[in-house]
């Protein structure tokens, strides 16, 4: 096999190994995918200032996110259906993150349950919560996350209504996937993936099935979830959830200064500048372009994190230079998982840390916490 040198290599391998409907589910953006593309492209506009003849011994990428020590300020983003990229995907990714010393965030919409992750890891992980209409269900999920000793709750606010991805519609993708003849044929083109799935005990949407008040089996799950995202979600709900949770709270899906100020008022510990990886509002700006005004407005009062389009350690440095205290990766670790399971997630993290460390060094820094705007050039005025 060709050596894996960057995240793109993992993406290509994942595309080869994961059935089309699940690869597309992970990779796609909504509608025209313009925001999805901008997330990646806008990083490339940010140029570094190279420094020389600086002592570069004893470098460190260690930092903190919401007060927790991290080997580098990069967390695995919550991603639904991760177990469809590779059998037991959530457990494998959580293990890789634990060994590496970075946070893993389990999605509400994961295949493995909160308890499965707790049983297979020893480091505390983070839990991501969607606000569903069924508040009893939300309360139960919060209690389960507490019982599993989750050390932060990531509350996603940008999914009151569901974005539309054309590729999912064309592929007949749903949660849970329906076993149509077309889908079965699609799965059979990837025998290695099928073999892995057959080898692994069935775990299916363990956060929801049997726990939500009206979901007792998989057939009712799809109908239940699609009508459960709450269009009436408000900042009062954030306050209600914060009270019930009582621990570190990170609010995800913030793109505007006004909403960032509401996060500060809510008493959250951090916010994530995020457009859901270009999967919700197509036509929104890239996350990296939305970051600086938010940092300027609230950065001294709340930790500002970001995600969307990070494809290298260089992008991590760019985000930190623009004031992010931490960065999340979604698709990069999913590609790693689809390509090579746990080993692929580890490889993804190694690649990012190595690029982060070297870029920091080329910019004349030894400590990731010292990265600031002075290491990048000001944006060029248009000609
Ligand atoms: C997501 N994302 C997401 N976010 C969330 O809060 N809960 C979720 O269940 C999901 N599910 C999900 C599935 C898949 C397949 C993807 C790719 C993304 C959004 C995710 O947390 C993060 O915001 C983006 O993935 C960041 O962009 P990149 O790193 O994928 O470019």
Give residue 374 CA to ligand 1 midpoint distance, Å: 30
Residue 177 pLDDT class (50, 70, 90 cuts): confident
Pick the residue whose CA is nearest to atom 1 on ligand 1. Answer: 79
CB 74 within 8 A of CB 352: yes
Among 33-37, 102-106, 161-165, 362-366, the range scoring the smallest mean pLDDT is 161-165
HEC profile of 148-162: CCCCEEEEECCCCCC
Residue 68 pLDDT class (50, 70, 90 cuts): very high
What is the reported pLDDT for 222? 78
CB 281 within 8 A of CB 163: yes
Question: In a 10 Å sphere around its CB, with 0-12 CB exposed, 13-18 middle and 19+ buried, how is residue 55 labelled?
Answer: exposed
Pick the residue whose CA is nearest to atom 11 on ligand 1. Answer: 79
Tell me the average pLDDT across 265-278. Answer: 98
SS3 306: strand
**Is pLDDT of 312 > 90?**
yes
**Is pLDDT of 216 > 80?**
no
Nearest CA-CA partner of 197 in 179, 174, 172, 220: 179
Give residue 80 CA to ligand 1 midpoint distance, Å: 7
**What's the token pair of residue 202?**
């069935």
Q: Which helix (H) or strand (E) holds 147?
A: helix 135-147
Residue 383 pLDDT class (50, 70, 90 cuts): low
Q: Is 107 annotated as a binding residue?
A: yes
Tell me the average pLDDT across 262-280. Answer: 98
End-to-end distance of the chain based on CA atoms, in angstroms? 45
Listed in order, strand segments (DSSP E) in 101-215 are 105-106, 126-130, 152-156
What is the reported pLDDT for 296? 98
**What's the token pair of residue 74?**
């990069």
CB 114 within 8 A of CB 145: yes
Q: Is 336 annotated as a binding residue?
A: no
Query: Using omega within 30 degrees of 0 as the cis cutoff, is the peptide bond preceding 176 cis?
Result: yes
Q: How many CA atoms lie within 13 A of 344 on its CB side?
A: 25
pLDDT cut 70: percent of the chain above it = 99
Give residue 13 CA to ligand 1 midpoint distance, Å: 20
Q: Which DSSP symbol is given to 122?
A: -
Pick the residue whose CA is nearest to atom 5 on ligand 1. Answer: 78
Residue 184 pLDDT class (50, 70, 90 cuts): confident
Which CATH number does 7-375 carry? 3.20.20.70
Q: Is 36 annotated as a binding residue?
A: no
Among 127-136, 168-177, 317-326, 333-342, the range scoring the smallest mean pLDDT is 168-177
Spatial distance between the Cα atoms of 19 and 14, rounded to a whole number of angstroms: 9
**Is pLDDT of 326 > 90?**
yes
What is the reported pLDDT for 13? 98
Q: Which DSSP symbol is given to 42?
A: G
Question: Ligand 1: which atom is nearest the Cα of residue 108?
Answer: 9
Q: What is the mean pLDDT of the chain?
A: 95
**Is pLDDT of 282 > 90?**
yes
Tell me the average pLDDT across 153-172. Answer: 94
Residue 175 pLDDT class (50, 70, 90 cuts): confident
* Residue owning tokens 């969307």: 308
CB count, 10 Å around CB of 119? 11
Pocket of ligand 1 (CB under 6 A): 25-26, 39, 77-80, 107, 109, 128, 156, 252, 274, 276-277, 279, 307-310, 329-331
Tell me the average pLDDT across 320-345. Answer: 98
**Is pLDDT of 197 > 80?**
yes
Known catalytic residues are 276
Strand 152-156 to 249-254 pairing: parallel
What is the reported pLDDT for 319? 98
Spatial distance between the Cα atoms of 123 and 92, rounded to a whole number of angstroms: 14
Q: Is 20 annotated as a binding residue?
A: no
Spatial distance between the Cα atoms of 303 and 323, rounded to a whole number of angstroms: 9
The answer, as to whether pTM is greater than 0.90, is yes
Sign of CA dihedral 14, 16, 18, 20: positive
Nearest CA-CA partner of 228 in 212, 242, 240: 212
**Is pLDDT of 19 > 90?**
yes
Beta carbons within 8 Å of 177's beta carbon, 6+ residues apart: 21, 22, 84, 183
Residue 173's φ and ψ, nearest 5 degrees, are: -80, 130
**Is pLDDT of 307 > 80?**
yes
Residue 194 pLDDT class (50, 70, 90 cuts): very high
Residue 382 pLDDT class (50, 70, 90 cuts): low
CB count, 10 Å around CB of 380? 8
Give residue 178 CA to ligand 1 midpoint distance, Å: 22
**Is pLDDT of 72 > 90?**
yes
């Amino acid at each position: 096999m060709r050596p894996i040198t960057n995240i793109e290599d993992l993406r290509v391998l994942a595309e080869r190994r994961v059935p089309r409907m699940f690869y597309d589910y992970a990779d796609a953006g909504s509608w025209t995918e313009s925001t999805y593309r901008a997330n990646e492209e806008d990083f490339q506009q940010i140029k570094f200032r190279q420094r020389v003849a600086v002592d570069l011994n004893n470098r460190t990428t260690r930092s903190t996110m919401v007060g927790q020590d991290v080997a580098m300020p990069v967390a695995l983003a919550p991603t639904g259906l991760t177990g469809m990229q590779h059998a037991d995907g959530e457990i494998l990714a959580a293990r890789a993150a634990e060994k590496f010393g970075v946070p893993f965030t389990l999605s509400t919409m994961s295949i493995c349950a909160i308890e499965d992750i707790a049983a297979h890891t020893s480091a505390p992980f983070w839990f991501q919560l969607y606000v569903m209409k069924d508040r009893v269900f939300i309360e139960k999920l919060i209690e389960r996350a507490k019982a599993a000793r989750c050390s932060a709750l990531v509350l996603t606010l940008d999914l009151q209504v569901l974005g539309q991805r054309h590729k999912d519609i064309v592929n007949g993708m749903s949660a849970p996937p329906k076993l149509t003849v077309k889908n079965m044929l699609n799965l059979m083109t990837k025998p290695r993936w099928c073999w892995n799935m057959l080898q692994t005990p069935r775990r299916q949407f363990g956060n929801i099935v049997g726990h939500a008040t009206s979901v007792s089996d998989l057939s009712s799950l799809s109908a239940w979830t699609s009508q459960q995202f709450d269009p009436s979600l408000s900042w009062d709900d954030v306050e209600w959830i914060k009270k019930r949770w009582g621990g570190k709270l990170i609010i995800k899906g913030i793109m505007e200064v006004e909403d960032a100020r509401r996060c500060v008022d809510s008493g959250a510990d951090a916010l994530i500048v995020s457009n859901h990886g270009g999967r919700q509002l197509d036509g929104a700006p890239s996350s990296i372009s939305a970051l600086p005004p938010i940092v300027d407005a609230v950065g001294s009062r709340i930790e500002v994190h970001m995600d969307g389009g990070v494809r290298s350690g260089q992008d991590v440095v760019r985000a930190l230079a623009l004031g992010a205290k931490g960065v999340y990766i979604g698709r990069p670790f999913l590609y790693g998982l689809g390509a090579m399971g746990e080993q692929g997630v580890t490889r993804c993290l190694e690649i990012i840390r190595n690029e982060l460390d070297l870029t920091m060094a080329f910019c004349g820094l030894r400590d990731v916490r010292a990265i600031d705007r002075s290491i990048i050039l000001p944006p060029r005025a248009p000609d």
